[in-house]
Amino acid sequence: MITQPQTEAPVSPVPAGDPTGQQVSWRHRHLLDVDALDTAEIERLLQSTAAMEEVLQRRVARTPALRGITVVTLFYEASTRTRASFELAGKILGADVINLSAKGSSVEKGESLIDTVRTIGAIGADIVVMRHPQAGAPYLAARHSTARIINAGDGTHAHPTQALLDAYTLQKALGDLQDKRICIVGDIKHSRVARSNLWTLTRLGATVTLVAPQSLLPPGLNQNHPLGLPAVRIDDDLDRALEDADAVIALRLQRERAAGVQVPSLREYARRYQITRERLGLARENAPVLHPGPLNEGVEISPDVARGLQSEIERQVQHGVAVRMAVLYLLARGGA
Amino acid sequence: MSFVTSVTETEVLGARALQRTLVRISHEIVERHSEGAPPVLIGMRTRGVPLAERIAQSISHFASAPPPTGALDISLHRDDIPLRNATAPLRTSVLPAAIDDRVIVLVDDVLFTGRSIRAALDALIDYGRPAAIELAVLIDRGHRELPIRPDYIGKNLPTHREDEVLVRLAETDGRDEVVLRSRTPAASAQT
């Protein structure tokens, strides 16, 4: 449990207006999507991620920073890397981690999301990491939860920690993302990763081009709606879009979300939208290739690119642990 | 009715005295480690880092090569964060490749309760097993809460618990000085 301050501990001498150790509280109780974060907050998260990555390289990669904190992962949908990396992140920081899935829990007996979240809070969870097939479910949970909520993917809406680890991976490969040209290719419509990527990358100053067939683009792009997505370029010709691209993010064709019926044939889709070695030659030299996984090899990405020198896919998974450590730390200890 | 508190600031070290103090600490470190590999100087973020760099620079005047330096962020090992929020940004620790069997000199600006040093010791042990860890501080202001004692002291400064010791360095604050800020209750203003 997070203990409330009883008495003010002696404050170590840090002068006000200190340029290097600015004392800034983290103002968010939950992490539901990146759209709630401003550029400075995204940068602070990425800077904390770098510090966490260093922790992972220590001989004993364990710290007591979240000692006494209980993290519950609550997954209503399948996941390998996200859940495992949240669990590992919590354990490395000294938190207790409990894994719950809809299967085998009271959810199967018909318990509502609100009741489940209230119960988990009553047990003493400080942070609930939640994945749900319904867009917006974590927002509903956050309204009824005493614990902090981290969205680990809600339907086709958002996947903030994936977007943050993508941004971190791109920053490490390319440096400052200001004015970098990033191509996101594939099933944008069903991709919560793409949506969260749009917020993160545009706030960091990158220019984003979406490449997909019309049927796999979400409605409401570039409509200048106050609740809409940030402005992006859209192209249905991958070769044209790849020219001079600084980086490529390939997305999985989400056949379980009916994307299969929205493309005429897999072969035709692969012919037009697969990231192949020849196509990658059109982009900037050594342009990094990202993919949030799991891969449909031979559909959106060719096996030689997925395992090639420009592939960042394995590093993305490694960065995923550090990003989730940073998010857990800031939510638990950041002061909100 | 409210109490008016007056704040007085006293200069403890000026720029030149501060630099002389660091040179003296460098001499003491060299004297104690005249044989064997030079110690590794590890500064504690934030202001211990430029202090460690300056001491290393000063040691390099009488050694063949400057001693290796590093920077340690102890945020993840603090014991007071559950009570106080971690509002300072987390920064990356940078340590020399291997600290096994080396003598380490931890460098910090102000030694107060000793809790930061406890956290630093815990963090260091996660990197390996040093031969020994010593402690150099610019100011020792007393009020220890843990059995921790510095090996190299720039200046002993008697303080009240509520006082603040402000260390400013050119690298982080634009100028070099150490100031003691004390709050003393003054007569409340007449109405």
- pLDDT tens for residues B11-66? 999 999 999 999 999 999 999 998 888 899 999 999 999 999 999 999 998 877 78
> What's the confidence (pLDDT) of residue A103?
79
Mean pLDDT of chain B: 91
Assess B128–A contact: CB distance below 8 Å, yes or no: yes
Q: How far is CA A186 from CA A163, A274, A286, in A?
A: 16, 8, 21
Q: Complex ipTM, two decimals?
A: 0.85
B175 lies in a domain? Answer: no
Assess B132–A contact: CB distance below 8 Å, yes or no: no
Q: E strands of chain B, at which residues?
A: 4-13, 40-44, 69-72, 103-111, 132-140, 152-156, 164-168, 177-186
> What's the confidence (pLDDT) of residue A265?
86
Tell me whether residues B89 and A11 touch, CB distance under 8 A: no
Closest residue of A to B90, CA-based? A48
Query: pLDDT truncated to tens, each residue of chain A (336 aa)?
Result: 444 433 333 333 333 333 445 668 899 999 999 999 999 999 999 999 999 999 999 999 999 999 999 999 999 998 989 999 999 999 999 999 999 988 777 777 778 999 999 999 999 999 999 999 999 999 999 999 999 999 999 999 999 999 999 999 999 999 999 999 999 999 999 999 999 999 999 999 999 999 999 999 988 787 766 667 788 899 989 999 999 899 999 999 988 776 667 787 889 999 999 999 999 999 999 999 999 989 999 999 999 999 999 999 999 999 999 999 999 999 998 877
For the domain that residue B105 is a member of, what is the CATH number? 3.40.50.2020
More confident residue, B97 or A276: A276
B130 lies in a domain? Answer: yes
> What's the confidence (pLDDT) of residue A226?
62
Continuous H helices in chain B: 15-32, 48-59, 115-125, 170-173
Pairwise CA distance, residues A288 & A245, whole Å = 10
Q: How far is CA A189 from CA A36, A224, A249, B34, in A?
A: 21, 18, 15, 68
Assess B81–A contact: CB distance below 8 Å, yes or no: yes
Neighbours of B129 (CB within 10 A): 11
> What's the confidence (pLDDT) of residue A225?
63
Q: What are the extents of the domains in chain A?
A: 34-159+319-333, 160-313
Angle value at C-alpha B81, between B78 and B85, nearest 5 degrees: 140
> What's the confidence (pLDDT) of residue A14?
36
Confidence check: pLDDT of B163 > 70: yes
Pairwise CA distance, residues A258 & B120, whole Å = 53
Question: CA of A77 to nearest chain B CA: how many angstroms apart?
Answer: 32
Superfamily of domain A34-159+319-333: Aspartate/ornithine carbamoyltransferase (3.40.50.1370)
B179 lies in a domain? Answer: no
Q: Assess whether the region A34-159+319-333 and the region A160-313 belong to the same CATH fold.
A: yes
> What's the confidence (pLDDT) of residue A6?
39
Helix/strand/coil for A138: helix
Question: CA of B72 to nearest chain A CA: how many angstroms apart?
Answer: 10
Tell me whether residues A335 and B87 touch, CB distance under 8 A: yes
Question: CA of B91 to nearest chain A CA: how many angstroms apart?
Answer: 5
B29 lies in a domain? Answer: yes
Assess B97–A contact: CB distance below 8 Å, yes or no: no
B187 lies in a domain? Answer: no
The domain A160-313 having CATH identifier 3.40.50.1370: the answer here is yes
- Number of compact structural domains in chain B: 1
Q: Which residues of B touch A68 (CB under 8 A)?
A: 82
Determine the residue among A7, A58, A67 to mutate to test chain B binding: the one whose Cβ has the most chain B Cβ atoms within 10 Å: A58
Confidence check: pLDDT of B189 > 50: no
Q: Which residues of A touch B173 (CB under 8 A)?
A: 15, 18-19
> What's the confidence (pLDDT) of residue B159?
96
B167 lies in a domain? Answer: no
Closest residue of A to B111, CA-based? A12
Domain span holding position B32: 14-81+91-160
B62 lies in a domain? Answer: yes
Question: CA of A56 to nearest chain B CA: how many angstroms apart?
Answer: 11
Pairwise CA distance, residues A269 & A263, whole Å = 7
